Amino acid sequence: MQQMQLNPNQQSLNEWNWTIQWSSLLSTNTIASILERTFFPKWLNVLYVWLNSGVSNFQEISSWYQGWKTLMGDDLIKHH
C-alpha cells in the first residue's frame, strides 16, 4: 500500500485490492490502521491539490470521492 500511486486520471487499484483481500483474515481495526498510515495521507493530499488547482471540475471530484467510498465498503466507513 505504501507504493500505491494515486492518480484520478489513471488509477491502478492493484495495491488497494491486495490490501482489501486481507480483510477476511484481519480485523476492520487492523485494515483501518493500515489505511490510516499508508493510504489516507496520500489520498487527502491528492484531494487537497485537486480542489485547490484552480481548474477543479467538482463533478469529477465528486465521482472520484464516491468511487473510493464505494471501494471502502460499509465496515471501513463505519469504523470512525
- DSSP letters, 17-63, are HHHHHGGGTS-HHHHHHHHHHHTHHHHHHHHHHHHTSSS--HHHHHH
CA distance 58 to 10: 17
Domain boundaries, the chain: 14-78
Structure confidence at residue 26 (pLDDT): 93
Residue 69 has pLDDT above 90, yes or no: yes
pLDDT of 80 > 70? The answer is no
pTM of the complete model: 0.85
pLDDT above 80 for 74: yes
Over residues 5-61, the pLDDT tens digits come to 999 989 999 999 999 999 889 999 999 999 999 999 999 999 999 999 988 899 999
Q: CA of 37: how far to CAs of 47, 56, 72, in Å?
A: 17, 27, 15
Write down the pLDDT at residue 1. 76
Number of other CB atoms surrounding residue 56 within 10 Å: 12
